[in-house]
Chains A and B, each alone.
Chain A
Amino acid sequence: MSTVEVLFWLLSCLAFASAILVVTTNHLVHAALWLVVTLGALAGCYLLLTAEFVAWVQVLIYVGAVVVLLLFALMLTRAPTAPEAATSTRNQPVAVGAAVATTAVLAVVLVDGFRGARIDVDGDPAGAADLIGDAIFRHWVLAFEVVSVVLLAALVGAIVLSRRGTDPSEGGG
């Protein structure tokens, strides 16, 4: 096994374990922090797969912005820092079953379809920044612009929704 494979294997285990902890821990804030670990491990996996640009964007945005947002939300909803007793719903057994079923279905399909394939990670990196930038601004520029509009809409919507005293039934008509 090459170095890349060993590292990938380690990072996978890390990601898997910390993902499990995200969804099972009783400490709400710890869940967010384990999420950081998971996302970081995934960034490492992207690096190993030679998708450098995606890895850095992942760290920047997911770890840097999304998790911070989640922590802010936990703070604003008065999440307790002490462990909560009941963090799982009545649904739990069914949820376990559904999750296992989904995983099984996906795994079976993937194994069945791609059993012997190998990725070549030794050649040129497949995700170098110039490569990605070239592709985006040459072939995917419309989608890129649309995404920016989407981000604007989300921004406006979030501001509107979270303003206090903006009850539409207040005031006239």
Chain B
Amino acid sequence: MPLLWPLLLSAALFGIGVYGVLARRNAVLALMGVELMLNAANLNLVAFDVWLRDVLVSGQVFTLFTIALAAAEIGLGLAIVLRLFRAYGHVDVDRVGGEPATVLGGVEAER
């Protein structure tokens, strides 16, 4: 098959992922956009690796590592989102920033 097809698919998915990160109001949905971007990169790597028939299979190995790191990252990212939720009571990225309603999540601020 033409190399371009997976490549163009990956470019399209990357653009959609960018839109998701930039335009979604909920933090979790923004993280979904990040996942899309990572997947686009993975597809790109795999396509090139298969095309080149690399001796070290570096593209696919890299893809595996990327998947593992994505899992780690999404775990941590969601823990942070949870902290954000505990502090502000919502995860709207437009409204966070400034003095949180509760300090560092879980402890009532003394006013």
Give the docked Cα–Cα distance between A76 and B22 (Å): 23
* Beta-carbon contact of B64 and A54 below 8 Å: yes
Give the docked Cα–Cα distance between A155 and B74 (Å): 11
A87 within 8 A of B: yes
Classify chain A's interface size. Answer: 35 or more
A74 within 8 A of B: yes
Label chain B's interface by main secondary structure: helix
Give the docked Cα–Cα distance between A143 and B19 (Å): 32
* Beta-carbon contact of B75 and A76 below 8 Å: no
* Beta-carbon contact of B19 and A127 below 8 Å: no
Label chain A's interface by main secondary structure: helix
* Beta-carbon contact of A70 and B74 below 8 Å: yes
Residues of A113-148 whose CB lies within 8 A of B: 114-115, 117-121, 126-127, 131-132, 135-136, 139-140, 143-144, 147
Q: Which residues of chain B come closer than 8 Å to A31, judged between CB atoms?
A: 29, 32
Closest to A121 in B: B1
Interface centre among A89, A94, A115, A151 (most CB of B within 10 A): A89
Q: Which residues of chain B come closer than 8 Å to A157, judged between CB atoms?
A: 76, 79
Q: Which residues of chain B come closer than 8 Å to A62, judged between CB atoms?
A: 35, 39, 67, 70-71
Interchain CB contact (< 8 A) of B32 among A35, A53, A140: A35
| A136-B64, A165-B106 known; A110 vs B74 contact (CB < 8 Å) | no
Residues of A1-34 whose CB lies within 8 A of B: 2, 4-5, 8-9, 12, 15-16, 19-20, 22-23, 28, 31-32
B57 within 8 A of A: yes
* Beta-carbon contact of B26 and A79 below 8 Å: yes
Interface centre among B2, B42, B78, B83 (most CB of A within 10 A): B78
* Beta-carbon contact of A150 and B69 below 8 Å: yes
| A77-B81, A121-B1 known; A23 vs B11 contact (CB < 8 Å) | no
* Beta-carbon contact of A53 and B11 below 8 Å: no
B101 within 8 A of A: no
Residues of B1-51 whose CB lies within 8 A of A: 1-9, 11-20, 22-29, 31-33, 35-36, 39, 42-43, 46-47, 49-51
| A70-B78, A136-B61 known; A51 vs B49 contact (CB < 8 Å) | yes
Given A114-B4, A132-B60; 13 other pairs, CB 8 A cutoff: A23-B32, A35-B36, A38-B39, A51-B46, A98-B18, A107-B12, A115-B4, A119-B1, A119-B3, A126-B49, A126-B60, A158-B78, A161-B83
Name B residues whose Cβ lies closer than 8 Å to a Cβ of A. Answer: 1-9, 11-20, 22-29, 31-33, 35-36, 39, 42-43, 46-47, 49-51, 53, 56-58, 60-61, 63-65, 67-76, 78-83, 85-86, 90-91, 93-94, 103-107
